[in-house]
Amino acid sequence: MQWNIPISKHLQHGELNLEDKALVDRAIADLPNAYAPYSNFRVSAAIRLDNGSILSGCNQENSSFPVGICAERVVLSAVHASHPGARVLSMAIVCNDGKEGPHEPTAPCGMCRQALSDQVSRQSTGMRLILSTINGPTWVLDEATDLLPFRFDFQQ
């Protein structure tokens, strides 16, 4: 069986519409806030809510490695703490591994894919996902749940 995930590919995030470009720019601006002294793999995620607010979060590593938290889950937690009931319309994710050269966007880890799926179920509406790089390609998925076709759903 083969799965096809519909992805819109762009050479750079400057090709996006103004709202999406602003979201990626916010994630890029917040990359220095990531705490990644062990992996040097910095990730930032910015979200746009249905009330117009934009929030962001960065990965936070810990010397006890399993205790760290990914940028996607940091910002989703911030939504529920500061904007209960708000719906996430879109999320931009940008990473920087500290290495030179061309990079492709990095997709969320499995745990974050499940968290995104849970958010979509929780808010009963879809969520766009924008995966970008600092100066390179950007991929846009209309549905974040496309990244996890066999997602776990406790409510089923």
Q: Which residues are catalytic?
A: 72
**Residue 99 backbone dihedrals phi, psi, to 5 degrees:** -105, 150
8 A C-beta contact, residue 43 and residue 94: yes
